Structure 1
Amino acid sequence: MGIRCGSYSGDATQHPRRRISSYRHRVRNELCEVGNMSDRQLIDSPRAWLTVVATFFSSAVALGTVYSFGAFFQSMADDFGTGKGSTAVIFGLTTFSFFWLSLITSRLSDRYGPRPVLATGAVALFVGLWATSNVNSIGIGYVTFGVGAGIAAACAYIPMVAHVGGWFEKSRATAVGISVAGIGVGTLVMNPLAARLIDLYSWRTTYRIFAVVGSLILIVGTLMMARAPGEAGAAPSRVREAFRSPTFRRLWLAALCYAIALFIPFVFAVPYAKERGISPVAAATLVGLLGGSSVLSRIGFSWLTNRFGTFRIFRFGFVLCPIAFTTWLLAGSSFATLAVFMLIMGIGYGSFVAVSPLVLADLFGVVGLGSLMGILYTACGLGALIGPPMAGRMIDVQDSYTMPMLVGLGLGLIAFLLLTLLPTTRSGNILVPGAQHEESQGTGSEVAVAMTAFDETLMELEDWLEP
């Protein structure tokens, strides 16, 4: 039962009941002050970092399972007797479910806290993967994997990252960067692991192993998570506020174009490599390289935002997309060039994942951040539903990967150009409409701005190294 904070005014000397009432009000106010002090002490505390660990491993398992689909792709297509376009729909539906259901799970997490939401994700992961391992029709697989793994990912990522942001002030960028790096680690580890297990057993047995081990890890994460200090319930919905903002609408459209391109190599880099004589495990390692490079970029770019600004880093990640697809066009059957392509793609992808929460916080503040992230990431879900099935259909019809590569390159350029139209502050953050920023500073103050950013970077490094 919570304590209601308030103040009492009036003459309490005339009646014993009034004296008791006055005493109760004083006690409540004193307890509230103690509670607020306790909340402040928890910010940036070791308890806060425990939520980072939980979010890291939960997202690694849930999203690693989803993004390792490329390792299962050909085995499932052969088993079901389907083409690339139809098989890619599984990944598209799963990622679409993940991002769009995150709108619901974020609201539920704001209202009820992260633990019941993550526990639901553990159940969904087990049921979805185990059911998928027993299906004999790809249509049923659309439901079992698409919904089961999609719910698990929606519970394990965006709501948990939003709670991590509420646990920190001084080290928020670093904490969020480490938390979202779990996706990259999961992608790095689970793709070659899945390929190896499929070689040893089968894709069905591999999903059963993932179901048991993955759900257990999510249950442990449930015990480690907690509501951020000072959070009392559901934050107000930010949907209308977000889409009334021209800046947000442009961000959403850029994210849609970027996501259509981004998820093409998640599904088709492995089949492309296999068709050119690269071994299954080595081919699966390509997606792992994408995940590994995204780990470094998520942590590194989160830290560099203190030096170069959040939106400048965010925009840099987008420009890497067309560069990466150009590399893929030139790769041919060279494993080394394919590896470079996936590394570049991973760096840009990691920048988007790590910095987008910070850009949204700059625009709207941290209240309801989980809801805002969910709204932005609906663009990613729609992009995943469009990109891989569209690319698979192009490959089936033309028996060539060239057209999907060109489409990815073009959409990456469009996404970057959309971001260049948004104004930024001199320190590299996105310009909040109607707010006063450092644009009013003269040219002579640029050195001071740079020195301030450098000092903040050093302070962040010192905080990171403190025992």
Structure 2
Amino acid sequence: MLGGSVTTGPLTERFGFRPVALAGAVTCFLSLLLASFANALWQLVLTQGVLFGIGAACIFSPSVSLVAQWHTKNRPLATGLAVAGSGAGGMIFTEATQRMMSSIGHKWTLRALSLIILVVAGTAGMFYKRRVAVPRGGTDFRSMIKDPRLVIVGLSGFFVNVSYFIPWYYLPTAALKIGQTRQAANNLVLFMNAGSTVGRVAAAFLAIAIGSINSIAAAYIICAILVLVVMLAVKSMVGYIVLSVIYGGLSASFISIVPLILTTFFGAQGVTTAMGIMNMYCSIGVLIGNPSQGAIYQQFDRPHDSFTAIAIWGFVGLALAGISYISLKVLVIHGTDKRIWSKM
């Protein structure tokens, strides 16, 4: 989904928001439908993995970028409300999927989900419409990918995704270790989605109050500290629930605020391509981060029944994301002078 956004940005510029989003809805539908007939792991990798990722990229990139074209004064709030949908969807789909899996099995669950995505995403895509015309000749992809501001935002996205999923994966594991039921442990993901839904809207108000770069830098430094402290010191379900809600809310700043920052830098006509390039960095972070987290946990934490190494990994990644935005603030203050950029 993230890596494919680097191509869906230019595709959206050329063909428009509606055709790309509708193509994504159909692709996601077909991928889950085909996955329901899979009998081997490689078939699931190709269908639910690769094919669904391509379809999701066609939906994700236009959806996040479109709002910036239709709002100026209230752009932060509009973007926050738009991306809050994925947080709410996470809560609904997680619960619905668990219930369907236990009642109708995984094959019919995949078929039901494919129809839901086709109806919801397809209906929404029908209303997508471009407002700002694409510049003659299109966006200069080569100059954009070299822009130091986008490089910094991309690196921050890389650091975020290297460590972002640690609470999502390992808080439920921590809950199981203190004697909680599997259902209670899985509910922590619902709490994070709930916090994320509210946080994506709240991040918009925070961006208006203290500035986009300031708010996202502060959010990730706080997230880094929370992960380190809670994963190491807290051994209660109440603490895990509090972390889930707060972490879900603060970490959502990345999804809400980055489109605002990139729109400010590259304009409403270039934000789709800029988002695609930034998501390319994020995709590398995911591919490196998730397997690395698993290897670190298995090697250093699981034998000692702890979360020390994985907590440090999360702290470093999230802190570097926050520091990246502080450096972006410095670059913005001093301009894009090459001499300044070379010293950073």
Pick the TM interval, shorter chain: 0.7 to 0.9
Q: Quote the offset at 1:363 in angstroms.
A: 2.4
Residue type matched to 2:14 in 1? R
- Within 2, Cα distance between the matches of 1:264 and 1:211? 28
Q: Residue 223 and residue 423 in structure 1: after superposition, are their counterparts in 2 closer, same or farther (change >3 A)?
A: closer
Q: Which fold has the larger relative contact order, with Cα–Cα distance below 8 Å and residues 6 or more apart in sequence?
A: 2
In the alignment, structure 1 segments of 5+ residues that lack a partner are: 1-97, 436-467
Aligned equivalent of 1:422: 328
Larger radius of gyration: 1
Q: Residue 232 and residue 408 in structure 1: after superposition, are their counterparts in 2 closer, same or farther (change >3 A)?
A: closer
- Within 2, Cα distance between the matches of 1:235 and 1:267? 44
Residue type matched to 1:184 in 2? G
Q: Residue 201 and residue 431 in structure 1: after superposition, are their counterparts in 2 closer, same or farther (change >3 A)?
A: farther
Residues 111 and 235 in structure 1, CA contact (< 8 A), matched pair in contact too:
no
Q: Residue 422 and residue 368 in structure 1: after superposition, are their counterparts in 2 closer, same or farther (change >3 A)?
A: closer
Aligned equivalent of 1:263: 165
Aligned equivalent of 2:53: 150
Q: Quote the offset at 1:101 in angstroms.
A: 0.7
Residues 112 and 234 in structure 1, CA contact (< 8 A), matched pair in contact too:
no
- Within 1, Cα distance between the matches of 2:137 and 2:83? 22
- Within 2, Cα distance between the matches of 1:351 and 1:176? 11
Residues 167 and 227 in structure 2, CA contact (< 8 A), matched pair in contact too:
no
Residues 270 and 284 in structure 1, CA contact (< 8 A), matched pair in contact too:
yes
Residue type matched to 1:105 in 2? T
Residue type matched to 2:203 in 1? F
- Within 1, Cα distance between the matches of 2:60 and 2:334? 27
Residue-pair matches, total: 332
1:222-276 deviation per Cα after TM superposition (whole angstroms, max 9, x unaligned): 2222222x42578733443334333332222222111110023334444553455
Aligned equivalent of 2:133: 231
Q: Residue 222 and residue 423 in structure 1: after superposition, are their counterparts in 2 closer, same or farther (change >3 A)?
A: closer
Residue type matched to 1:151 in 2? I
User: Aligned to 2:143, what secondary structure does the other structure show?
Assistant: helix
1:375-402 deviation per Cα after TM superposition (whole angstroms, max 9, x unaligned): 1121221111112222223334453562
Question: How do residues 261-410 of structure 1 correspond to structure 2 at under 5 angstroms?
Answer: 261-274=163-176, 276-326=178-228, 327-332=230-235, 334-398=236-300, 399=302, 400=305, 402=307, 403-410=309-316
Tell me how large the CA RMSD over aligned residues is: 2.4
User: Which of 280-289 and 112-121 deviates more?
Assistant: 280-289
Question: How do residues 242-261 of structure 1 correspond to structure 2 at under 5 angstroms?
Answer: 242-261=144-163
Q: Which of 133, 146, 159 does residue 36 from structure 2 map onto? A: 133
Residue type matched to 2:319 in 1? L
Taking only the aligned residue pairs, the percentage that are identical comes to 25
Q: Quote the offset at 1:208 in angstroms.
A: 2.0
Q: Residue 239 and residue 337 in structure 1: after superposition, are their counterparts in 2 closer, same or farther (change >3 A)?
A: farther
Residue type matched to 1:419 in 2? Y
- Within 2, Cα distance between the matches of 1:145 and 1:361? 32
User: Aligned to 2:319, what secondary structure does the other structure show?
Assistant: helix
Residues 263 and 270 in structure 2, CA contact (< 8 A), matched pair in contact too:
no
Aligned equivalent of 1:413: 319
Residues 328 and 337 in structure 1, CA contact (< 8 A), matched pair in contact too:
no
User: Aligned to 1:148, what secondary structure does the other structure show?
Assistant: helix
**1:191 maps to 2:97:** no
Q: Quote the offset at 1:296 in angstroms.
A: 1.6
In the alignment, structure 2 segments of 5+ residues that lack a partner are: 338-344
- Within 1, Cα distance between the matches of 2:326 and 2:257? 16
Q: Residue 152 and residue 406 in structure 1: after superposition, are their counterparts in 2 closer, same or farther (change >3 A)?
A: same
- Within 2, Cα distance between the matches of 1:401 and 1:141? 33
Residues 145 and 277 in structure 2, CA contact (< 8 A), matched pair in contact too:
no
Residues 195 and 248 in structure 2, CA contact (< 8 A), matched pair in contact too:
yes
Aligned equivalent of 2:75: 172
- Within 2, Cα distance between the matches of 1:223 and 1:401? 49
Residues 120 and 155 in structure 1, CA contact (< 8 A), matched pair in contact too:
yes
Residue type matched to 2:28 in 1? L
- Within 2, Cα distance between the matches of 1:150 and 1:171? 31
User: Aligned to 1:423, what secondary structure does the other structure show?
Assistant: helix
1:274-310 deviation per Cα after TM superposition (whole angstroms, max 9, x unaligned): 4554334333321222222122221122123222111
Q: Quote the offset at 1:179 in angstroms.
A: 0.8
**1:123 maps to 2:9:** no
- Within 2, Cα distance between the matches of 1:363 and 1:313? 17
TM-score by length of 2: 0.87
Q: Residue 241 and residue 232 in structure 1: after superposition, are their counterparts in 2 closer, same or farther (change >3 A)?
A: closer
